[in-house]
Amino acid sequence: MSSPTYGVRHIAIIMDGNGRWAKRKHLPRALGHKKGVEAVRNIVRVAGEMGIEVMTLYAFSSENWNRPQEEVSDLMGLLRQYIQSDIDEFVENGVRLKVIGNYRALDSDIVAMIDNAIEKTAQNSKMTLAVALNYGAQDEMLRAVQHIAGRVRSGELEPEAINLSDISDALDTADLPPLDLLIRTSGELRLSNFLLWQAAYSELYFTDALWPDFDKAELEKALQSFGHRERRFGGR
């Protein structure tokens, strides 16, 4: 039997806790990240089977460059492997890959791999997997402001005429449906610069589960919690 999704179209996840997962098991952090990739692979499959339209995953933030260089390069290595090994499955399962964040600042071979994967999966329509890479919501808004300022300078738009759609259309998520449910693993109660604009009326779900342990049962718990929420959007 398929699991109920309670009308959720778009789920985003702050995948946190790989380091603590490894620490608890007396393993190197890198192994925690490796397990984290396996959890990604699994949850993407599960979400596809459930009929979730969009899954947005926070994989590397614009602040994660502050980590030791060795960890950053481990993460970039895993990203290379993941794109290479999973692209065929995306094609097979109808998954369209999208990237949010300033990914063009990553190493040029990764940028090329991403562009290739985006192109190869562009026609897929079962699910969109949006991966946040070198993503920060404040950076996203800054880029949006620069884009809109350019439109104003060219005379295409008057400052007083700028509306909410102009802003959301200038964000990396412009083509995605509204964010229904934002999940964070590992017990941290903060957004860490993720989807600040898009989360305006999202339902929030925090779990103590560490990301490598987040599986189908955990996703079902989050959806069930969503199912009990009353969304008001400021109305009554």
Distance CA 21, CA 194 (A): 22
Q: Least separation, in Å, of the C-beta of 13 and ligand IPE?
A: 8
Q: Least separation, in Å, of the C-beta of 15 and Mg ion?
A: 9
Binding residues with Mg ion: total (CB under 5 A):
1
Q: Which is nearer to ligand IPE, 52 or 195 (CB)?
A: 195
Stretch of 9-17, 39-47, 118-126, 168-176 lying at the interface with ligand IPE (CB under 6 A): 9-17
Interacting residues with ligand IPE between 99 and 138 (CB under 6 A): none
18 interface partner picked from ligand IPE, Mg ion, none, CB below 5 to 8 A per type: ligand IPE
Q: Check if the beta carbon of residue 15 is closer than 8 Å to that of residue 209.
A: no
Joined tokens for residue 162: 């700028």
Q: Which is nearer to ligand IPE, 48 or 101 (CB)?
A: 101
Residues with Cβ within 8 Å of 232's Cβ and at least 6 positions away in sequence, in order, are none
Q: Which is nearer to ligand IPE, 39 or 47 (CB)?
A: 39
Phi/psi for 95 (5° steps) reads -95, 125
What one-letter code names the amino acid at 146?
Q
Annotation says 116 is catalytic: no
**Contact residue for ligand IPE among 54, 55, 75, 182 (CB under 6 A):** 75
Would you call 130 helix, strand, or coil by DSSP? Answer: strand
Burial call 101-129: b when 16+ CB within 10 Å, e when fewer: bbbeebeeebeebbeebeeebeebeebbb
What one-letter code names the amino acid at 23?
K
Annotation says 42 is catalytic: no
- Which residues form the interface with ligand IPE (CB under 6 A)? 14-20, 58-61, 64, 75, 186, 188, 190, 192, 211
Catalytic residues: 16, 64
